[in-house]
Amino acid sequence: MSEILLEYHRNGAYLKVIAVDAETGEEVSAMGPANDPVSVKNLAIQKLKNKLQTLKPPRTGYWA
């Protein structure tokens, strides 16, 4: 995985974290309580990792 860029937006009691993969430009966001920014950040990163996994081409070949 390449570099991950994070962007934080606070709106009252809520925090929105946007995670962007620097190599592919894929982007996801996560929202949560502003008093727990680490959890919201970790959620955004995990969502991005999951999204990038689904974008990988399927393996080809024969299964024995």
- pLDDT tens for 7-57 read 999 999 999 999 999 999 999 999 999 999 999 999 999 999 999 998 877
Decide: 2 and 20 in contact? Cβ < 8 Å. no
The pLDDT, as a whole number, for residue 59 is: 67
Does the residue 14 lie in any domain?
yes
How many domains, in total, are found in the chain?
Answer: 1
Looking at the predicted structure, is the pLDDT value of residue 64 above 60? no
Does the residue 31 lie in any domain?
yes
Q: Could you list the residue range(s) of the whole structural domain that residue 39 is in? A: 4-55
Does the residue 37 lie in any domain?
yes
Does the residue 12 lie in any domain?
yes
Does the residue 62 lie in any domain?
no
Does the residue 64 lie in any domain?
no
Does the residue 35 lie in any domain?
yes
* Residue found under tokens 């993969």: 21
User: What are the residues facing 9 on neighbouring strands?
Assistant: 16
Decide: 48 and 26 in contact? Cβ < 8 Å. yes
The pLDDT, as a whole number, for residue 58 is: 67
The total of other beta-carbon atoms located within 10 Å of residue 19's CB is 22
Looking at the predicted structure, is the pLDDT value of residue 61 above 80? no
